[in-house]
Chains A and B, each alone.
Chain A
Amino acid sequence: MIVPGLQFFRHLRLIKSAGLSFVAALAPAAFTTAAAAESAPEPIKIGVYASLTGKEAVWGQSAEKATRLAVDDVNAAGGVLGRPLHAIIEDNQSKPGESVTAVRKLISRDKVVAILGEASSGRSLEAAPICQQARIPMISGGSNPKVTQVGNFIFRTHFIDPFQGTVMSRFAREKLGAKRLALLTEVTNAYAVGLAKYFSADAAAHQTPIVIEQKYSAGERDFKAQLTAIKAAQVDAIFVPGYYTEAGLIVAQARELGLNLPVLGGDGWEGPQLLAIGGPALRDTYYCNNFSSESDVPETRRFIERYQTRFQSMPGGTAADAYDAVLMLTDAIKRAGSTESEKIRTALATTRGLRGVGGPLNVDANRDQLKPAYILGYNSGDYHLVQVIQP
Chain B
Amino acid sequence: MSEFLQQLLNGLSLGAIYALIALGYTMVYGVLRFINFAHSDVFMVGAFIGYYLGKLVPEGTLWGGLLVLSGAMIGCALLGMFIERVVYRPLRHGPTLNVLITAIGVSLLLEYTGQIVFGAAPRTFPQIFPTANYHVGSLTISSNQVFVIGVAILLMIALQLIVFKTKIGTAMRAVSLNPKAAQLVGVNNNVVISFTFGLGSALAAAGGILYAMNYPSIDPLMGVMPGLKAFVAAILGGIGNIPGAALGGLLLGTVETFIGGSQFSTYKDAIAFAILIVILLFKPAGLLGKFTIEKV
Chain A interface residues (CB < 8 Å from chain B): 53-55, 57-58, 93-94, 187, 214-217, 219, 221-222, 224-226, 228-229, 231-232, 245, 248-249, 252, 256-258, 273, 276-277
Contact = CB atoms under 8 A, between A and B. Distances in A.
B261 interface: yes
Contact of B10 (A55, A94, A225, A252): A225
B218 to A, nearest CB: 9
Given A215-B265, A219-B225, A232-B3, A226 B260 contact: yes
24 contacts: A53-B115, A57-B121, A94-B120, A221-B211, A221-B214, A222-B10, A222-B14, A222-B214, A222-B257, A225-B7, A225-B258, A225-B259, A225-B261, A225-B265, A226-B261, A228-B7, A229-B262, A232-B2, A232-B3, A245-B217, A256-B142, A257-B142, A258-B140, A277-B216
B216 to A, nearest CB: 6
B170 interface: no
Contacts, number: 88
A231 B120 contact: no
Interface string B123-142: 01000000001010000101
Contacts of B121: 53-55, 57-58
A191 to B, nearest CB: 17
B3 A231 contact: yes
A252 B122 CA distance: 16
Contact of B215 (A53, A228, A249): A249
A258 B259 CA distance: 21
B129 to A, nearest CB: 14
A249 B257 contact: no
Given A231-B3, A249-B216, A277-B217, A226 B265 contact: yes
- Secondary structure at the B interface, as helix, strand, loop or mixed, is helix
A228 B3 contact: yes
B41 to A, nearest CB: 16
B6 interface: yes
Contact of A221 (B11, B135, B217, B259): B217
A219 B228 CA distance: 14
A214 B265 contact: yes
B120 A93 contact: yes
Contacts of A217: 266
**Nearest 10 A-B pairs (CB), nearest first?**
A225-B260, A221-B215, A57-B121, A258-B140, A225-B261, A276-B124, A224-B10, A53-B120, A229-B261, A232-B3
Nearest to B126: A276
A273 B124 contact: yes
B119 to A, nearest CB: 7
A215 B217 CA distance: 19
Contact of A54 (B120, B142, B258): B120
Among A55, A187, A221, A232: residue with most chain B CB under 10 A: A221
A256 B257 contact: no
Interface residues of B, number: 36
Among B2, B3, B122, B258: residue with most chain A CB under 10 A: B122
Interface string B242-272: 0000000000000011111110011010000
Nearest to A214: B265
A276 B144 CA distance: 18
B169 to A, nearest CB: 33
B145 to A, nearest CB: 8
Interface string B64-105: 000000000000000000000000000000000000000000
B215 A222 contact: yes
B120 A256 contact: no
Given A58-B121, A225-B260, A258 B217 contact: no
B111 interface: no
A229 B259 CA distance: 11
Contacts of B140: 256-258
Contacts of B216: 249, 252, 277
Contacts of B122: 55, 245, 273
B120 A258 contact: no
Given A187-B266, A222-B214, 14 more contacts: A55-B219, A222-B10, A225-B11, A225-B256, A225-B259, A225-B265, A225-B268, A228-B3, A228-B10, A232-B2, A245-B122, A257-B140, A273-B122, A277-B217
Contact of A225 (B120, B214, B257): B257
Nearest to A228: B6
B266 A229 contact: no
Interface in B161-212: 211
Among B115, B216, B217, B259: residue with most chain A CB under 10 A: B217
A214 B263 CA distance: 7
A216 B269 CA distance: 11
A230 to B, nearest CB: 9
A225 B115 CA distance: 30
Among A57, A214, A224: residue with most chain B CB under 10 A: A224
Contacts of B222: 221
Nearest to A232: B3
B139 to A, nearest CB: 9
Contacts of B214: 221-222
Contacts of B142: 256-257
Interface string B6-42: 1100110010000000000000000000000000000
A258 to B, nearest CB: 4
Contacts of A226: 260-261, 265
A241 to B, nearest CB: 15
A53 B265 contact: no
B188 to A, nearest CB: 41
A225 B268 CA distance: 11
A231 B124 CA distance: 26
A175 B257 CA distance: 34
B21 to A, nearest CB: 14
Contacts of A228: 3, 6-7, 10, 261
B144 A256 contact: yes
Contacts of A276: 124
Nearest to B212: A221
